[in-house]
């Protein structure tokens, strides 16, 4: 009998293991040698605070659950009633099917037809693969409709630095900009601002203790290896969230508590576009009929 997240599929390779749910294709667990590197939740529990979610065809919020396409106003389902927004896309509560399964590898897929406020049918997949360098996650979005489709992709991991308290860690982000939002609706109010000289500049690393964030950062810049890298570290190591340059945005969330554990947690959420991108148009991806987009990110344990 399956719970609210459906079947729990475990993959393993060497001393690494991950658990993925068939409802939402959520990452429920990732550990190496028994050490956890994401916050987890019970097999019979709903994902708390969006944990492990796949956010397609938009991450974060659509303000007022309303947007326009080709001059036609689209009214999405309000999925954040407190603020009146549509949040985190259309696939988090869908039943996904297994497209590929092998040692250390699992790919799930789901197809979405035209639906309220979304006139574009599409198919999307997410692949989880364990390797020597941690967990790699590959997203695809395939346009099965007859017109060009705008969209964004995001994900909602809570990277965990092993058994170390998050408040004893340092947060480092590869972000040069921050997006101002209305604190009541969490919808953007203007253009991104530079983090230079502010308390929101985490490029050199800042202690997490007492830091409170529910913040969209932009201008995430890749390093010499072509990858964007964010991290939560302590003296003994930590955990890194890396992403390809298409994930130039990241939402960082520090809830005061995370169900089932002592102490706080931190979400580092790679996004291809900012909140409310369906209205602003900022960094939206478009795919022509019959075409497919692919992007990758991952989680890597850090050891010193």
pLDDT, tens only, 104-158: 999 999 999 999 999 999 999 999 999 998 999 999 999 999 999 999 999 999 9
Q: Say whether pLDDT at 290 is over 60.
A: yes
User: d(Cα 181, Cα 184) in Å, to the nearest integer?
Assistant: 9
14: domain CATH number is: 2.70.98.10
Provide the pLDDT confidence category of residue 246 given band limits of 50, 70 and 90. very high
Whether 124 contacts 140, CB under 8 Å: yes
Q: What is the DSSP string of 87-103?
A: ES-S-TTSBPEEEEEET
Here the tokens at position 170 are: 């340092």
Do the domain assignments include residue 173?
A: yes
Do the domain assignments include residue 1?
A: no
For every residue of 238-298, which 3-state class applies, written as one string?
EEEEEECCCCCEEEEECCCCCCCCCCCCCEEEEECCCCCHHHHCCCCEEECCCCEEEEEEE
pLDDT, tens only, 274-287: 999 999 999 999 99
pLDDT of residue 84: 98
Number of domains in the chain: 1
Do the domain assignments include residue 45?
A: yes
Do the domain assignments include residue 153?
A: yes
pLDDT of residue 1: 43
Q: Say whether pLDDT at 198 is over 60.
A: yes
Look up the domain containing 50 and give its range. Answer: 8-303
User: d(Cα 151, Cα 144) in Å, to the nearest integer?
Assistant: 13
Do the domain assignments include residue 268?
A: yes
Here the tokens at position 106 are: 């699992």
User: d(Cα 11, Cα 292) in Å, to the nearest integer?
Assistant: 26
Asked if the bond preceding 57 is cis, omega within 30° of 0, the reply is: yes
């Amino acid at each position: 009998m399956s719970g609210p997240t459906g079947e729990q599929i475990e993959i393993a390779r060497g001393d690494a293991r991950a658990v993925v749910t068939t409802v939402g294709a959520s990452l429920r667990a990732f550990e190496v040698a028994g050490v956890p590197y994401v916050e987890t939740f019970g097999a019979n529990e709903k994902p708390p605070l969006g944990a492990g979610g796949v956010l397609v065809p938009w991450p974060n919020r659509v303000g007022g659950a309303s947007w326009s396409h080709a001059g036609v106003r689209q009214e999405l389902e309000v999925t954040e009633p407190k603020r009146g927004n549509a949040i985190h896309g259309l696939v988090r509560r869908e039943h996904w099917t297994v497209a590929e399964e092998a040692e250390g590898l699992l790919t799930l897929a789901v197809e979405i037809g035209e639906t309220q406020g979304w006139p574009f049918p599409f198919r999307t997949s997410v692949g989880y693969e364990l390797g020597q360098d941690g967990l790699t996650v590959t997203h695809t979005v395939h346009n099965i409709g007859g017109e060009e489709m705008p969209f964004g992709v995001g994900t909602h991991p809570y990277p965990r630095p092993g058994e170390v308290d998050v408040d004893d860690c340092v947060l480092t982000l590869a972000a040069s900009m921050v997006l101002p939002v209305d604190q009541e609706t969490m919808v953007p109010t203007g253009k991104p601002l530079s983090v230079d000289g502010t308390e929101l500049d985490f490029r050199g690393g800042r202690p997490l203790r007492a830091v409170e964030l529910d913040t969209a950062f932009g201008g995430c810049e890749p390093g010499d290896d072509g990858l964007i890298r964010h991290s939560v570290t302590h003296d003994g190591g930590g955990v890194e969230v890396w992403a390809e340059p298409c994930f130039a945005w990241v939402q960082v969330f520090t809830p005061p508590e995370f169900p089932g554990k002592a102490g706080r947690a931190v979400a580092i959420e790679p996004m291809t576009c900012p909140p409310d991108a369906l209205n602003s148009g900022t960094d939206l991806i478009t795919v022509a009929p019959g075409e497919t987009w692919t992007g990758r990110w991952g989680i890597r344990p850090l050891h010193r």
